[in-house]
């Protein structure tokens, strides 16, 4: 099983903000929405754009290149031109640290 990695302090982000972190060579976008943290791979499944630089509306991120929408909570694609979900990573708070885990090969 993969290990939990500290990526930020619990208070590092305000609601509606995100940051991108490298976890074992994978760029992961970490979002804070309504006091909860979510993490998805920082890549649009339509064309490989960095998704974290898009506009956040509620719990959906809009790809800056072609407007595909994804749910930040689940990685689910919400509108074309993308048709594949973005991988969502487990997130937890441990001793004041936001932690993520790359569970794709567990």
Task: Find, among 43, 38, 3, the residue nearest to 23 by Cα.
Answer: 3
For residue 104, the model assigns a pLDDT of 86
* Chain centre to alpha carbon of residue 46: 16
Measured over the CA atoms of residue 92, residue 99, residue 18 and residue 65, the dihedral's sign is negative
For each of the domains in the chain, give its residue range(s) and CATH number, in order of start.
5-100 (2.102.10.10)
Task: Find, among 97, 101, 103, the residue nearest to 9 by Cα.
Answer: 97
Asked whether 52 and 61 are in contact (CB, 8 A), the reply is yes
Peptide bond into 67 cis (omega under 30): no
Asked whether 50 and 68 are in contact (CB, 8 A), the reply is no
For residue 1, the model assigns a pLDDT of 67
For residue 24, the model assigns a pLDDT of 86
Q: How far is Cα 96 from Cα 106, in angstroms, rounded to an integer?
A: 25
Residue-by-residue pLDDT tens, the chain, 106 positions: 689 999 999 999 999 999 999 998 999 999 999 999 999 999 999 998 899 999 999 999 999 999 999 999 999 999 999 999 999 999 999 999 999 999 988 8
What's the predicted TM-score (pTM) here? 0.94
């Amino acid at each position: 099983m993969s290990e939990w990695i500290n990526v930020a302090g619990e208070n590092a982000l305000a609601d509606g903000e995100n940051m991108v972190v490298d976890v074992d060579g994978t760029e992961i976008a970490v979002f804070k929405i309504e006091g909860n943290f979510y993490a998805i791979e920082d890549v649009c499944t339509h064309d490989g754009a960095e998704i974290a630089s898009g506009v956040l509306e509620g719990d959906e991120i809009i790809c800056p290149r072609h407007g595909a929408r994804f749910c930040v909570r689940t990685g689910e694609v919400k509108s074309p031109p993308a048709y594949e979900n973005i991988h969502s990573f487990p997130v937890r708070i441990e001793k004041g640290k936001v932690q993520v885990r790359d569970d794709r090969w567990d």
